[in-house]
């Protein structure tokens, strides 16, 4: 009987801890906090709920100092769809990053520059989407859908960054390959 009471108490404390970590992440997302703050809250959630995923992220070389770049990985994936990253795509991603608090010269910024110069592995992209999806799962469905729409809009902005030549060659400014990647990102995040 005493063992059951202790086990129930332990489960209750564990559930309270998980709810507390979810609440921290929700607060950061709702505040539209800097990406670094969201990355820290997401890391704490993963440490509590998904330690294996956090370990995979760390094995990819992602740290708390580069967590903001990791959250922007879907944009980098869209930029690389055509085999290289144009200056316009690069500038668009760096502009979005700056708007979300990534400072030039920071570890996040340097990571983005590296990923824009040298394509990251598909595992970086897959793992980033998985982590983002888990982070968004703490939100109510309407807020989660809104965040997904914001991510997709940023991906579309990157895809359309090539300007008039892209629009001339592709009616909507987005290639079929880019559209397919953006659709896959949307599907994965909406799971």
* 69 vs 118: CA distance, rounded Å: 14
For residue 16, CA distances in Å to 39, 40, 79, 134, 141 come to 21, 19, 41, 18, 22
Residue 7 confidence (pLDDT): 57
- pLDDT reading at 59 higher than 70: yes
Domain housing 152: 2-190
Burial (CB count within 10 angstroms: exposed 0-12, middle 13-18, buried 19+), residue 9 = exposed
- In this structure, what are the phi and psi dihedrals at residue 32, rounded to the nearest 5 degrees? 50, 50
Q: What is the mean pLDDT of residues 131-159?
A: 91
CB 182 within 8 A of CB 159: yes
Which residues, including other chains, have CB under 8 Å from residue 147's CB and lie 6 or more apart? 29, 136, 139
Of 28-32, 85-89, 134-138, which one has max mean pLDDT?
85-89
- pLDDT reading at 109 higher than 80: yes
Question: In terms of pLDDT, which residue wins out, 59 or 45?
Answer: 59
Residue 2 confidence (pLDDT): 57
165-187, pLDDT tens digit by residue? 455 555 456 788 899 999 999 99
Number of structural domains, the chain?
Answer: 1
Average pLDDT along the chain: 83
What does the block give as tokens for 119? 């394509």
Query: pLDDT class for 191, splitting at 50, 70, 90?
Result: confident
Percent of the chain with pLDDT over 70: 76
* 151 vs 156: CA distance, rounded Å: 9
Which residues, including other chains, have CB under 8 Å from residue 111's CB and lie 6 or more apart? 66, 69, 70
Query: pLDDT class for 97, splitting at 50, 70, 90?
Result: very high
């Amino acid at each position: 009987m005493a063992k059951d009471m202790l086990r129930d108490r332990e489960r209750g404390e564990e559930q309270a801890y998980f709810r507390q970590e979810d609440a921290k992440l929700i607060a950061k997302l709702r505040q539209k906090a800097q990406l670094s703050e969201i990355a820290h809250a997401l890391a704490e959630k993963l440490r509590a709920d998904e330690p294996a995923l956090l370990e995979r992220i760390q094995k990819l070389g992602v740290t708390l100092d580069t967590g903001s770049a990791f959250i922007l990985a879907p944009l980098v994936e869209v930029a690389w769809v055509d085999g290289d990253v144009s200056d316009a795509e690069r500038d668009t991603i760096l502009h979005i990053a700056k708007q979300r608090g990534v400072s030039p010269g920071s570890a996040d910024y340097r990571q983005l520059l590296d990923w824009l110069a040298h394509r990251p592995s598909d595992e970086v992209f897959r793992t980033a989407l998985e982590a983002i999806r888990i982070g968004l799962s703490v939100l109510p469905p309407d807020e989660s859908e809104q965040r997904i729409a914001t991510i997709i809009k940023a991906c579309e902005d990157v895809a359309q960054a090539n300007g008039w030549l892209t629009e001339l060659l592709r009616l909507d400014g987005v290639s079929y390959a880019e559209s397919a990647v953006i659709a896959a990102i949307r599907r994965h995040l909406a799971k």
